[in-house]
Amino acid sequence: MATNDPVCAYSTVLMGSPILLKLFELNEALARQVFRLIKQQENLLTVNRTPSEVMNVNLAAGQHPVNVSPSVFELIRCAKAVSLMPDSIFNFTIGPVVKCWKIGFQGNSVPSDAELQARLMRCNPQDVILDEKKQTVFLAKAGMEIDLGAIAKGYIADCVQALLHQQGISRALINLGGNVQTLGAPDSQAGWAIGLKKPFGAADELIGVIEVVNKSVVTSGIYERFFELDGQIYHHILDAKTGYPLDNELLSVTIISDRSIDGDIYTTLLYGMGVEKGIAYLAAHPALDAIFITRDKQVICSSSRQFNFALLDNRYQLSYWQ
């Protein structure tokens, strides 16, 4: 970093994740405002403790509709639409199954198939009744639970980006535990350099570096939260059809997009599609790019439209689809 372009980094821990804000000015008041915004959003959306608006919805399952804030209503509406996309593995009503696995929360045993099947009966996104006029959400069956864990960080990263824009900031980076959103680029460099973690590597071990300007970079990988039993990895991205962790050729999917919520949505969706279908999908959606890391040590970029990528680990093989 050039000396006339000093980066000021502010960090904290929120949502159980390390949060990093980079600015190009000493502005602790703004950093505090950003962290307050994240905390406020977490307080609305968390499903791990009461009170939160989403918890209130879950606690009233099978009983009555619950009034929520406009932003929470919109996020739930978006999550429902994505869950209802054809062949989507994304399902925001997967809460009962997520809770049962407890992955990332000391989970260490495999639930019985009967238990998973019983819980999957309570995971139908069609049973989430939205009333636009009243701004209410009603979970029609007792025992249903919304889980926004797959999109909350992306949504909040976009809220932070909007706040920074509002405050006249044109160059910044926010990293919400792996969900990165950027504004502009550092003056002295072509873009923001974002490390791509090596799956199951040491904490600071990178496969490569992604360089972006004004883009979000979101990675979802099976190595983030998992437990191991009898040589098998059980991770936190679940197949909403079977209730088991998704099992395919992928170790991680990274999405480069304008909005971080899209990054969050599409990491899960493309995870479910796998490389071949995922690439075909992206060919028809040029606003999104992806980097797939496979079990057989390939790093496959959908294109180089929106980012540069430098491979650092030559045990992996890099290829571009376009």
Chain residues binding ligand ADP by CB under 6 A are 89-92, 94, 98, 147, 149-150, 153, 178, 220, 224, 236-238, 240, 264, 268
The answer to whether 262 contacts Mg ion (rule: CB under 5 A) is no
* Cα–Cα distance for residue pair 229/108, rounded to 1 Å: 7
| CA 244 to chain CA centroid, nearest Å | 19
CA distances from 201 to 4, 207, 310 (A): 35, 9, 18
Least distance (Å) from ligand ADP to the CB of residue 114? 20
Contact 120, 112 (CB under 8 A): no
Residue 42 touches which member of Mg ion, ligand ADP, none, C-beta under 5-8 Å by kind? none
Q: How far is the CB of 144 from ligand ADP (least distance, A)?
A: 14
Nearest distance, CB of residue 152 and ligand ADP, angstroms? 8
Nearer of residues 264 and 289 to Mg ion, judged by Cβ? 264
Residues with Cβ < 8 Å from 123, sequence gap 6 or more? 91, 93, 94, 95, 96, 97, 144, 240
Decide whether 268 or 306 has the Cβ nearer to Mg ion: 268
**Dihedral of alpha carbons 219, 154, 147, 138, sign:** negative
- Which one of ligand ADP, Mg ion, none is in contact with 89 (Cβ closer than 5 to 8 A by kind)? ligand ADP
Residue from 15, 264, 282, 288 binding Mg ion (CB under 5 A): 264
Nearer to ligand ADP, 269 or 279 (CB): 269
- Selection from ligand ADP, Mg ion, none that 282 binds (CB < 5 to 8 A by kind) is none
Minimum CB–partner distance for residue 82 and Mg ion (Å): 10
Q: Residue 252 CB, nearest distance to ligand ADP (Å)?
A: 9
CB 268 within 8 A of CB 239: no
Q: Tell the smallest beta-carbon distance from residue 229 to ligand ADP (Å).
A: 18
71: Cβ contacts below 8 Å, ≥ 6 apart: 44
Q: Is 150 one of the binding residues for Mg ion (CB under 5 A)?
A: yes
Q: Which does 238 bind (CB under 5 to 8 A by kind): ligand ADP, Mg ion, none?
A: ligand ADP
CB of 211 to ligand ADP, least distance (A): 21
Closest C-alpha among 104, 82, 103, 101 to residue 91: 82
Q: Which is nearer to Mg ion, 169 or 293 (CB)?
A: 293
Under 8 Å between Cβ of 202 and 230 = no
Q: Which residue has the tokens 């490389």?
A: 275
Are 185 and 214 a contacting pair, CB within 8 Å? yes
176 binds, among ligand ADP, Mg ion, none (CB under 5 to 8 A by kind): none
| CA distance linking residue 295 with residue 255, whole number of Å | 18
Q: Which does 92 bind (CB under 5 to 8 A by kind): Mg ion, ligand ADP, none?
A: ligand ADP
